[in-house]
Amino acid sequence: MMMLRRIFVAGAKSFIRSGSVSFATVLIMTVTLMIIGFLVFLSAVLSNTLVSIQDKVDVNVYFTPAASDSDIATIQEEIEAIPEVAATTYTSREEALIQFRERHADDELTLRALDELGENPLGASLSIKANDPSQYEGIVQYLENDLGGSSFIDRINYFQNKTVIDRLTAAIKATARAGSIIVFLFALASTIIALATVRLAIYSARDEIAVMRLVGASNMYIRGPFIVAGILSGVFAGLITLILFYPAAWYAGSATAIWLGGFNVFTYYVDNFAVFFGVIVGAGVFLGGVASYLAVRRYLKV
Amino acid sequence: MYRDGAALDNVTLSIAPKEFVSIVGHSGAGKTTLLKMLLAQERPTDGSVFFESVDVHTLPKSSLHHYRRKIGMIFQDFRLIPNKTAYENIAFAMEAAGRPDDEIATDVPYILELVGLGGKAHHFPHQLSGGEQQRVAIGRAIINQPDVIVADEPTGNLDPVNTFEVIEILKKINELGTTVLITTHNKGVVDAMGRRVITMENGRIARDDAQGHYIL
């Protein structure tokens, strides 16, 4: 207990006294931790985008105008009975017409043609959501086999959407992978630089370490203060990173929310602050501690 | 056959408790290597070094520090820890040995007073002169009351006045019952001492006189 206290005090003292070296170490570690934090943001943004895109996948069953509400209700019940189906949304003929008019509000010609027609040419539709995107295939199969013969069904639109969505998903996944690899390489490179910085700081103390050995200090007692100083560097670098992320996320949040499909980086940062704190300060402590441990070990062989 | 790069060759000597022994010789004669072997900093290719009844080269690295606490080490270049004050440098040896705080708080000022640095306890090494730094180093060496003081050219970097003071302190330590072993180039120091002198040449012991002089 007494030794632990002495180790801690000695570590804190040497961290403060070797001010410029500690400052450089903290700075380099801050850069590393920012890249690691960026990795967390990136994975959150990408997985969120992927989820929101996959959420847009659905199957629409279009009914002929002749189908009555009660006919459709029967079919809807039947579909909802399928275990893979999460939910169905019914859009009536009238609603379809209103949506159509809204969509073509600027298109005078189409609207006039519609008015000319006098009656509602659109059919009702049922949009189906599956529990999992991979289950659509099976649901469509079922619909075609069991209901394909039904004269009320006009068409099922799954296949034309599917290719677009598949391509989009593949593109996002590829971007995610490439992005993750690049950021990971950056994180790796800056981790190595941080390790080298810590090692350099301890290299300058190698004679000291030898003297400590010769005046009878145990390895653990010599190593301890260096590890404490390394951990302190990590904690400071972590806190600086967290503080810098706050305005950065705030700025990036409002600038990119629309572009990221409503995903706000700032809100994510604030909501998941505990996770960020854990990851960034934890990585800092780990990096500083392990780097110091390894660096001192080389000079303890006296 | 002539020594093929070996620093020491066929050296046998024993030192009794409470002796004051000077080891003299040219640079490269093997004086420092002899001390390093004593401290288990280097291993002999052949032969062994006994401290009391323990062969020091059979000690595992992890327990060497216990052995080294029995020996106070003084170096030509002082080797103080640069970012610790005079007080902390001396206290470090006690802290490392796991001595309690109250003992440290009473012993360190006493030792600082003994080496004549009572007023400079909170100076860092770079704020002290060479002689003062060496006196801090002596303080650090004796604070744990070691059985042996080993001093490698302790006066090599000092002017005559500081040399005299350092030697006086070492003599006083010896009179209090500690074995002292020094290597030196300084003829005046050796001749004034009138104690045992071991002369080394090319890694061998050339002379070993109970009341020797500096003869090369």
A121 and A99 in one domain?
yes
A221 touching B (Cβ < 8 Å): yes
So what's the pLDDT on residue A285?
Answer: 92
A221 and A152 in one domain?
no
SS3 state at A70 = helix
Q: What is the pLDDT of residues A56-100, one digit of tens each?
A: 777 778 877 777 777 777 777 877 777 777 777 888 878 888 888
A290 and A172 in one domain?
yes
Indicate the residue among A157, A176, A199 that finishes a domain. A157
A49 and A62 in one domain?
no
Average pLDDT, chain A: 81
The residue range of the domain holding A145 is 58-157
A40 and A26 in one domain?
yes
A170 and A287 in one domain?
yes
A282 and A169 in one domain?
yes
So what's the pLDDT on residue A41?
Answer: 82
Does the pLDDT value for residue B161 go beyond 80? yes
Q: What is the pLDDT of residues A80-89, one digit of tens each?
A: 777 777 777 8
Query: How many angstroms separate the CA atoms of B169 and B34, rounded?
Result: 23
So what's the pLDDT on residue A160?
Answer: 62
Q: What is the pTM of this model?
A: 0.70
Strands (E), A245-297: none
So what's the pLDDT on residue A159?
Answer: 63
Indicate the residue among A118, A138, A157 that finishes a domain. A157
The winner for highest mean pLDDT among A187-191, B3-7, B75-79 is B75-79
So what's the pLDDT on residue A261?
Answer: 66
Does the pLDDT value for residue B140 go beyond 70? yes
Nearest CA in chain B to A1: B98
State the residue for tokens 């002290």: B128
Q: Which of A17, A207, A214 sits opposite B73 (nearest CB)?
A: A214
CATH number at residue A89: 3.30.70.3040
A148 and A280 in one domain?
no
A1 touching B (Cβ < 8 Å): no
Does the pLDDT value for residue B127 go beyond 90? yes
Q: Which of A214, A218, A220, A300 to mutate to test the interface with B (most CBs of B within 10 A)?
A: A214
Identify all chain B residues contacting A17, using CB atoms and an 8 Å cutoff: 83
A220 and A99 in one domain?
no
CB-based contacts of A34: which residues, under 8 Å, 6+ apart?
A: A241, A244, A245
Interchain CB distance below 8 Å, A2 and B100 = yes
Interchain CB distance below 8 Å, A213 and B65 = yes
Among the listed ranges B87-96, B129-138, B203-212, which one has the minimum average pLDDT value? B203-212
Identify all chain B residues contacting A207, using CB atoms and an 8 Å cutoff: 79
A217 touching B (Cβ < 8 Å): yes
Query: How many angstroms separate the CA atoms of A263 and A44, rounded?
Result: 9
State the residue for tokens 């999460």: A86
Interchain CB distance below 8 Å, A216 and B144 = yes
A220 and A257 in one domain?
yes
Indicate the residue among A157, A175, A199 that finishes a domain. A157
Interchain CB distance below 8 Å, A216 and B65 = yes
Q: What is the pLDDT of residues A199-224, one digit of tens each?
A: 888 888 888 888 888 888 888 888 89
Interchain CB distance below 8 Å, B101 and A215 = no
Q: What is the pLDDT of residues A143-184, one digit of tens each?
A: 777 766 667 777 777 766 677 777 777 887 787 788 778 878
A203 and A134 in one domain?
no
Number of domains in chain A: 2
Helix count and strand count (H, E) for chain A: 11, 4
Does the pLDDT value for residue B178 go beyond 80? yes
Does the pLDDT value for residue B2 go beyond 60? no
A20 and A140 in one domain?
no
Does the pLDDT value for residue B5 go beyond 70? no
